[in-house]
């Protein structure tokens, strides 16, 4: 493209880049734009997605290529386009997913991901393609480990990663996908098939066929060797090419920021929308980009990227004697835990040092190693200073003067008699925000020659306070002393007494334990090194402190039942058919809401959100915001033509408003919005709206709500027998309290909506939503128009998980009001941090329980009080409470019980349904109780579970029959067998006997969960099927495709009924003008309701065609269709399906049916934990699942794996924390840790139970969207099992409460030892900084 706009005279240069091989020249580039915004909005390349905006999810990954004229080589590397300034790629080649392959000509990466079923919603897929593409361009035959490492920066919320890895592993040297079943025939039942694809079917990869690097960039050095300057309205971008020029610029503009990578700077500039910023890119300055290897050190220019630095360090480690390379190998180990490949490819070592972050992963190591830095200025020349506490002068401050720049850093080699290590907790979120403080360490000791007498020691720590600390007292007190246990004890005491920990970030007890654990690890390592020099021996069990937990490369098997031998070849039911849109998804051609091309006069909406959790609104001043150029208007409560109460149809729960006008009930509640010409202007103006509040006291947690009786009515109780009498007869009575935290949906595509006003007051709403009927009626009520004037449609969602039901309606209603006021189309896509504030989470739960049992483990009675944190309005929490009660017993028969549940009213966003909808909390509670019973009775947990299973003929706690409960027994027995449970239990115990500081745990749990809606009116589905005269079929139904494969399964169903190949059937979108009043797509009901409606419609059409088929039995499908048309027989039919399912909420135990059927499954997981740090690794998971007769094994296994990994996140890694003022602190991937590719089981085996047809399911199949998530409780309990062994070593017996999620903090503190015994900080003290709701 080329432009000649009026601002050209402000720019010294034109931007020149090559995008997918095409030259782009921009004479008026805006330096404020990111590369992603430029690609999507200016070039309309929408394959790259905006998932987080902070470089943490990888959805925006592209490949950057440049010719290094100094090295004479082409460099390819992956980068996050959302974080990369557009000006930073001047003179480079950019490759997006559109440039890799198209639907007409797939690249082998795209083909293999599609055929290996390595996608579901597909929003993350283009980024995954690009990460792998960049890897292959550098290494055409990477190792399996290298493939997994390259994907660490790419998050996926749907698949569970296994199929992605398995498909891409076919690029390894031996082409092995990592699935043993693909390499040999399954030794077992001949009716079972192993593996979902055949690697030999893939097109071979030929690197020589890749596009060539643009010759102009290789031959013309001018683009890289010439200084450039780009000037925008509020930012100037300068790229000098000599050190002298750089120093001159800093002398002239001392507040200019040097940029390499932009990671920290983007956070620094967030919210600073006034003034003019100058950024300087030093990437082309030779002195700042070189690496020099000296006799005793290595010097890195400050612009050297962490990737380049790592490559140079690795080369030195391979060449140097092991002891001399300790500093370098420790830095390499830290690099592996530092961000991700995309971040390291773009971030410079100098930028990292200059942030002076107290949370830096690298600065503590560089300090401990005795590194130095070279600094220069135009007036002062060059000087060298030590990288120590004098260099970092305060919170994110250094000793550099405003006109000085960091030129290089020199890192010494490890000398003789020196030992060095660095430490960090791996299982933590990427830490890019000041609100989290986690300790890391650099440790160095030097001994007198030939002895174990300390000559010098440096311990450097990050995460203790506002800056990196070195403890001089430890250095002084250690000199001249022997390296022995007396020194160890003294240093541990000094770490407790002399290293103050700031309250910022909380977790004080954990951080203090880490200080001591790190030094103990270092002491143990050095002691082991000294053993060869006749020092005192090291206890064998302490050796486990030396190693870190490593994940093995991912392998796994998938087993499913073969289709009957007599099934027609063109009948797709029961076959692993790929997602209908898989080709469009892998090529980036699939269109999501924000990908829809804009139309003329389209405007953008940004929300004005509450900055208080509970307050009266005194005034809202929009004058400054609306006076900004490009702002169209402010929209708020006064602009609502209909009702502003929310939800509009529920007068009993109307304290919340669509636009808060009198009071805000949670931090992040919508007060108004700014409508502007661009999203940047809208966001900038939204921050300028001034709201005056009168603060009210917020209630945030369940305990606070109980204390002040902030509870919703009605409570609900279930009671059977006389628990009090049974407690008296019990041999053991166990009491406790169990807490399980909330979970964010974290769909990859945030809330998005596009509203286009039409004639006659009509509104067209294209939205990323699960519940179109809900959205349609709410938008109509807000606009004051009838439902028939609002049309809602979409083709696909980038994930939902329940978060795009009611919350999507709120966003769409606000956008509709804005469009009505502006009279123009308006679109909105929430930023990730805003999305997480506006949208409520899964419900936090707390249970107070009392359980009685016999000494042999049989349950006698249970009393349980369950509390759910509902948030600021009741919403759907009543139904979540019912769901929880329905699953509170899981598969266990409890003769006498009283279970009561309450909903807590608090000042957090109204909690939403999320995958599982109330039942995961119940399952975690009851299975944790079962483990406590086993511990109390000193019986193995699996035996306690088995003896308390429901028996055939039993009714569950809702008085419902379980006709196929035998399937649960079959799943249990098969999982015990396939997991080799008893043998592995022996192996776990043997490992734990010989390892004090590493422990393994093993757990197996069963599952019984309802499928379907318990509210009768929701159990209906509709479909519309058209047959055209060319024989093609157009299918429409009321369900929404969001990655679960609903469209694919409904096409399979239609294919079977119509007896035509699925290729002749098409689905284009879901729309309310085709299917009215559709039920929400959730509760694992999509296929049962919509699939049956499709079946009914197709059966009607087949009945109409039957006479013509009989008249012409040898005719073709087209012949019969033509005959029907010419005989004026309708070739369009609507299908409607409903069932008799539904609970009587007035008497839920009256024996009525509250589910379509029960889903059963069993999961067995093994973990290894580091007792000193709380890190863990999921070693293996085996799942056996009852899918009925699977409609599509590929999709069902994908749902099992994805659901399990999402459940693993819920029960283990994902923790939501709020400030005491009610602000959600854990927003975005930098703070909120959903599972990544390195978190999944190293061995991941899934089996679909054979021969288990479901009489109530469509074609005997069962829905599987939600149930598999619950099986991740096995990981929580496996971790608890491992902790139990650690506590036994410390002399602690009996049951203990282990709350969820099982974060590194909780694991470490539960592994009580001498270190934690001496730390006295309580959990209440920690909560002075944040609260867990």
Supply the residues annotated as catalytic.
Answer: 1266
| Cα 470 to Cα 492: distance, rounded to the nearest angstrom | 15
List the structure tokens of 912. Answer: 């939403």
Give 1004's contacts (C-beta < 8 A, 6+ positions apart).
941, 942, 945, 972, 975, 976, 979, 981, 1162, 1163, 1164, 1165, 1274
| Cα 988 to Cα 940: distance, rounded to the nearest angstrom | 14
Task: Confirm if 446 and 455 have CB atoms less than 8 A apart.
Answer: yes
Task: Confirm if 899 and 866 have CB atoms less than 8 A apart.
Answer: yes
Residue 41: how many other CB atoms lie within 10 Å: 14
Element (DSSP H or E) covering residue 1205 = helix 1193-1208
Residue 596 DSSP SS3: coil
Give the residues across from 617 on adjacent strands: 693
Selection from 953, 1254, 964, 1013 nearest residue 1155 by Cα: 1013
DSSP state of 549: P
Question: What's the per-residue H, E or C state across 339-399?
Answer: CCHHHHHHCEHHHHHHCCCCCCCCHHHHHHHCCEEEEEECCCEEEEEECCCCCEEECCEEC
| Cα 475 to Cα 471: distance, rounded to the nearest angstrom | 7
Residue 140: how many other CB atoms lie within 10 Å: 14
Residue 198 DSSP SS3: coil
| Cα 1188 to Cα 1196: distance, rounded to the nearest angstrom | 11
Q: How many residues does the chain have?
A: 1333
| Cα 859 to Cα 730: distance, rounded to the nearest angstrom | 9
List the structure tokens of 64. Answer: 């950057």
Q: In what order do the strands lie in the sheet with 998-1011?
A: 192-194, 555-561, 1243-1248, 1176-1185, 1157-1170, 998-1011
CA angle 680, 681, 686 (to 5 degrees): 100
User: Torsion-angle region of residue 1309: left (phi > 0), alpha (psi -120 to 50) or beta?
Assistant: alpha
Give 1127's contacts (C-beta < 8 A, 6+ positions apart).
1108
Selection from 698, 634, 715 nearest residue 672 by Cα: 634
| Cα 1083 to Cα 879: distance, rounded to the nearest angstrom | 12
| Cα 1184 to Cα 542: distance, rounded to the nearest angstrom | 37
| Longest pairwise C-alpha distance within the chain | 105
| Cα 65 to Cα 138: distance, rounded to the nearest angstrom | 11
Give the residues across from 1178 on adjacent strands: 1167
Task: Confirm if 201 and 223 have CB atoms less than 8 A apart.
Answer: no
DSSP-assigned letters across all residues of 445-473: EEE-TTSSBEEEEEEEEESSSSS-EE-HH
Q: Please compute, for residue 1207, the number of CA atoms within 13 A of its CA located in the half-sphere on the CB side.
A: 32
| Cα 625 to Cα 632: distance, rounded to the nearest angstrom | 10
Selection from 448, 426, 428 nearest residue 436 by Cα: 428
């Amino acid at each position: 493209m080329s432009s000649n706009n009026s601002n050209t005279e402000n720019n010294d240069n034109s931007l020149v880049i090559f995008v997918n091989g095409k030259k782009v020249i921009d004479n008026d580039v805006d330096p404020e734009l990111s590369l992603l915004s430029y690609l999507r909005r200016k070039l309309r390349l929408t394959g790259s997605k905006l998932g987080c905006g902070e470089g943490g999810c990888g959805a925006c990954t592209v490949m950057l290529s440049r010719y290094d004229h100094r090295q004479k080589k082409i460099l390819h590397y992956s980068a996050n386009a959302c974080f990369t300034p557009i000006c930073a790629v001047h003179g480079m080649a950019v490759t997006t997913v559109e440039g890799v392959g198209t639907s007409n000509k797939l690249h082998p990466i795209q083909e293999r991901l599609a055929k290996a079923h390595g996608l579901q919603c597909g929003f993350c897929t283009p980024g995954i393609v690009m990460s792998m593409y960049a890897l292959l361009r550098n290494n055409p035959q990477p190792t399996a480990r290298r493939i997994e490492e390259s994907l660490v920066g790419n998050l996926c919320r749907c698949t569970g990663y296994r199929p992605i890895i398995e498909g891409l592993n076919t690029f390894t040297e031996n082409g092995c996908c990592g699935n043993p079943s693909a390499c040999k025939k399954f030794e077992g039942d001949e009716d079972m098939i192993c593996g979902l694809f055949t690697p030999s079917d893939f097109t071979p990869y030929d690197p020589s066929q890749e596009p060539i690097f643009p010759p102009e960039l290789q031959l013309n050095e001018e683009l890289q060797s010439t200084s450039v300057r780009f000037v925008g309205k509020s930012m100037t971008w300068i790229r000098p090419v000599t050190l002298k020029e750089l120093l001159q610029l800093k002398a002239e503009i001392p507040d200019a920021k040097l940029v390499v990578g932009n990671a920290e700077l983007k956070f620094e500039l967030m919210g600073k929308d006034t003034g003019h910023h100058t950024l300087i890119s030093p990437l082309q300055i030779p002195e700042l980009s070189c690496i020099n290897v000296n006799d005793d050190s290595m010097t890195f220019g400050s612009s050297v990227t962490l990737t380049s630095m790592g490559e140079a360090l690795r080369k030195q480690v391979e060449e140097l004697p092991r002891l001399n390379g300790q500093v370098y190998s420790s830095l390499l180990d830290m690099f592996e835990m530092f961000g991700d490949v995309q971040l390291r490819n773009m971030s410079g070592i100098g930028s990292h040092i200059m942030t002076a972050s107290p949370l830096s992963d690298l600065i503590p190591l560089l300090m401990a190693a005795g590194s130095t830095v070279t600094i220069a200025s135009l007036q002062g020349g060059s000087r060298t200073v030590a990288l120590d506490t004098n260099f970092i002068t305060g919170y994110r401050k250094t000793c550099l003067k405003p006109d000085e720049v960091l030129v290089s850093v020199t890192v010494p080699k490890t000398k003789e008699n020196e030992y060095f290590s660095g430490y960090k907790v791996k299982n933590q979120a990427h830490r890019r925000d000041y609100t989290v403080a986690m300790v890391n360490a650099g440790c160095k000791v030097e001994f007198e020659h030939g002895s174990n007498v300390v000559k010098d020691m440096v311990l450097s720590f990050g995460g203790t306070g506002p800056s990196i600390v070195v403890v001089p007292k430890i250095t002084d007190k250690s000199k001249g002393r022997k390296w022995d246990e007396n020194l160890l004890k003294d240093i541990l005491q000094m770490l407790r007494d002399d290293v103050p920990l700031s309250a910022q970030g909380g977790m004080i007890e954990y951080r203090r334990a880490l200080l001591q654990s790190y030094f103990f690890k270092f002491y143990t390592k050095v002691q082991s090194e000294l053993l060869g020099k006749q020092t005192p021996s090291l206890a064998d069990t302490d050796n486990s402190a030396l190693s870190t937990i490593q994940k093995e490369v991912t392998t796994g098997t998938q087993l499913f039942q073969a289709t009957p031998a007599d099934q027609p070849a063109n009948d797709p039911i029961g076959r692993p058919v790929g997602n209908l849109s898989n080709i469009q998804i892998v090529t980036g051609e699939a269109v999501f809401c924000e990908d829809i091309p804009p139309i003329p006069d389209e405007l953008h909406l940004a929300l004005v959100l509450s900055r208080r959790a509970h307050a009266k609104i005194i005034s809202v001043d929009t004058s400054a915001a609306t006076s900004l150029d490009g702002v169209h208007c402010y929209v708020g409560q006064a602009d609502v033509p209909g009702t502003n109460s929310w939800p509009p149809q529920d007068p009993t729960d109307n304290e919340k408003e669509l636009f808060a006008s009198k009071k805000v009930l949670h931090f992040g509640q919508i007060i108004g919005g700014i409508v502007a010409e661009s999203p940047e202007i809208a966001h900038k103006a939204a921050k300028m709206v001034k709201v005056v509040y009168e603060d009210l006291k917020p209630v945030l947690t369940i305990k606070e709500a109980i204390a002040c009786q902030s509870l919703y009515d009605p409570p609900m109780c279930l009671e059977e027998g006389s628990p009090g009498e049974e407690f008296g007869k019990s041999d053991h009575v166990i009491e406790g309290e169990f807490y399980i935290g909330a979970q964010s949906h974290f769909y990859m595509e945030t809330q998005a909506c596009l509203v286009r006003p039409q004639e006659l007051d009509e509104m067209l709403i294209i939205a990323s939503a699960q519940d179109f009927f809900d959205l349609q009626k709410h938008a109509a009520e807000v606009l004051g128009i009838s439902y028939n004037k609002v049309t809602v449609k979409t083709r696909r969602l980038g994930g939902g998980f329940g978060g795009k039901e009611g919350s999507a309606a709120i966003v769409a209603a606000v956008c509709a009001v804005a469009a009505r006021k502006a009279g123009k189309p308006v679109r909105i896509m929430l930023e990730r941090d805003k999305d997480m504030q506006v949208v409520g989470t899964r419900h936090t739960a707390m249970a107070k329980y009392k359980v009685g049992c016999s000494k042999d483990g049989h349950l006698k009675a249970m009393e349980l009080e369950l509390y759910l944190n509902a948030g600021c309005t009741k919403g759907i929490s009543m139904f979540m409470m019912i769901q929880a009660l329905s699953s509170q017993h899981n598969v266990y028969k409890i003769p006498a019980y009283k279970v009561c549940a309450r909903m807590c009213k608090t000042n957090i966003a109204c909690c939403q349904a999320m995958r599982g909808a109330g039942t995961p909390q119940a399952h975690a509670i009851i299975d944790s109780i079962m483990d406590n019973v086993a511990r109390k009775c000193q019986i193995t947990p699996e035996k306690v579970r088995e003896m308390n299973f429901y028996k055939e003929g039993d009714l569950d706690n809702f008085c419902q029959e379980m006709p196929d409960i035998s399937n649960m027994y079959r799943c249990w027995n098969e999982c015990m067998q396939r997991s080799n449970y008893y043998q592995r239990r022996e192996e776990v115990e043997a490992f734990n006997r010989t390892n004090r500081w590493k422990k393994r745990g093993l757990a197996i749990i069963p599952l019984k969960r309802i499928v379907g809606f318990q509210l009768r009116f929701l159990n209906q589905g509709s479909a519309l099927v058209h047959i055209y005269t060319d024989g093609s079929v157009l299918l429409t139904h009321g369900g929404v495709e969001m990655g679960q494969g609903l469209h694919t399964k409904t096409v399979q169903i239609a294919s079977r009924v119509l007896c035509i190949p699925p290729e002749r059937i098409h689905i284009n979108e879901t729309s309310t003008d085709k299917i009215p009043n559709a039920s929400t797509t959730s509760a694992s009901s999509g296929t049962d309701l919509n699939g049956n409606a499709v079946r009914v419609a197709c059966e009607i059409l087949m009945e109409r065609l039957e006479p013509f088929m009989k008249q012409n039995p040898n005719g073709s499908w087209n012949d019969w269709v033509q005959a029907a048309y010419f005989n004026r027989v309708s070739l369009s039919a609507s299908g409607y399906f409903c069932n008799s399912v539904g609970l009587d909420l007035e008497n839920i135990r009256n024996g009525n049916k509250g589910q379509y059927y029960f889903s059963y499954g069993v999961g067995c997981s093994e973990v290894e934990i580091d007792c000193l740090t709380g890190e863990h690794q999921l070693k293996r998971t085996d799942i056996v699942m009852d899918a009925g007769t699977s409609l599509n094994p590929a999709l069902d296994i994908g749902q099992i794996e994805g659901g399990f990994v999402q459940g693993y996140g819920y029960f283990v890694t994902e923790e939501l924390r709020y400030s005491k003022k009610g602000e959600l602190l854990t927003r975005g991937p930098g703070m909120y840790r959903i599972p990544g590719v390195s978190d999944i089981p190293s061995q991941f085996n899934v089996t679909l139970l054979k021969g288990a047809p479901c009489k109530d399911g469509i074609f005997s199949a069962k829905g599987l969207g939600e149930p598999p998530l619950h099986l991740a409780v096995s990981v929580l309990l496996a971790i608890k099992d491992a902790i139990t062994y650690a506590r036994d070593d410390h002399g602690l017996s009996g049951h203990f409460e282990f709350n969820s999620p099982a974060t590194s903090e909780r694991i470490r503190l539960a592994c009580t030892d001498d270190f934690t015994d001496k730390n006295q900080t309580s959990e209440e003290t920690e909560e002075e900084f944040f609260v867990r709701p």
